[in-house]
Amino acid sequence: MVARQLRERGIRSERVLGAMETVPRHLFVPSERVPEAYSDEALPVGEGQTISQPYVVAASAEALALEGHERVLEVGAGTGYQAAVLSLLAREVIAVETIPSLAESARERLTRLGYSNVRVEQGDGSEGLAGEAPFDAILVSAAAPAVPQPLIDQLAEGGRLVIPVGLTDRQQLLRIVKEGNRTTEQKLFPCRFVPLVGRFGWR
């Protein structure tokens, strides 16, 4: 997976490649999907949600440019896989999941596997977590119709937000950097995520 899907397709960060090599993806998919765990595709995980394609997980993490000291917010925890990857790249990860059953199972799984610097909260991730802000980096693992203003507001100075934005069936992955009272936006690549449901997402 790391050699063919990530390194050959342009993932350069050795820290990200190392994290992707370390996290056992097969432990984050339903038992019937274990044979496909390392395939080059998103997989269904129940409740209408998916675990993202490995390349998208790695590219999103790389775009955050984490050095190890950051506090990171992940919106859309799913099974906890992306949070586990981020936990090896940052000081602290808080993941928010809107679906209670997924939040509970992700929390249990991450604890059992020893990812002690990850916390999973259940709630509307499109609102961020104002009480925990600011964040050095925010990664949104679901597609928004527009960039939620609360996530911009909760970024620290120099903070990075990576988020898929567009229609429900196709989006662009964006990288937004906050500097002073301004943000700069970079389009990374076309993608397809499940919808971000919430006050600042899809209703």
> How much is the pLDDT for 58?
98
pLDDT tens sequence across 14-25: 999 999 999 999
Measured distance CA(40)–CA(56) in Å, rounded: 10
Distance between CA atoms of 6 and 16, rounded to whole angstroms? 10
- What per-residue confidence (pLDDT) applies to 177? 98
Query: What Å distances lie between residue 191 and 62, 103, 161, 165, CA to CA?
Result: 16, 24, 16, 9
Instruction: Round to whole Å and give the CA distance between 11 and 5.
Output: 9
Q: What is the pLDDT of residue 68?
A: 97
pLDDT at 181: 84
Per DSSP (E only), the strands in 47-144 are 49-51, 71-75, 92-97, 118-122, 135-140
- Average pLDDT of the segment spanning 110-118: 98
For residue 122, list its beta bridge partners: 97
Calpha distance 196→126 (Å, rounded): 7
Picking from 5, 11, 10, the residue whose alpha carbon sits closest to that of residue 25 is: 5
Q: What is the pLDDT of residue 62?
A: 98
List, by residue number, the catalytic residues: 52
- Average confidence (pLDDT) over 28-56: 95
CB atoms within 10 A of CB 116: 9
What's the mean pLDDT in 51-72? 97
Say what the pLDDT of residue 85 is: 98
**What is each CA distance from 201 to 15, 49, 148, 164, in whole angstroms?**
31, 15, 7, 11
Q: Residues 111, 115, 118, 122: is their CA dihedral positive or negative?
A: negative
In the chain the beta strands, taken as DSSP E runs, fall at: 43-46, 49-51, 71-75, 92-97, 118-122, 135-140, 155-166, 171-179, 182-191
- In this prediction, residue 80 carries a pLDDT of 97
**203 confidence band (pLDDT: 50, 70, 90):** confident
Which phi and psi (to 5°) does residue 51 adopt?
Answer: -95, 130
In order of their start, the domains of the chain are 56-191 (3.40.50.150)
As a whole number, mean pLDDT of residues 92-113 equals: 97
Q: What is the pLDDT of residues 130-186, one digit of tens each?
A: 999 999 999 999 999 999 999 999 999 999 999 999 998 899 999 999 998 899 999
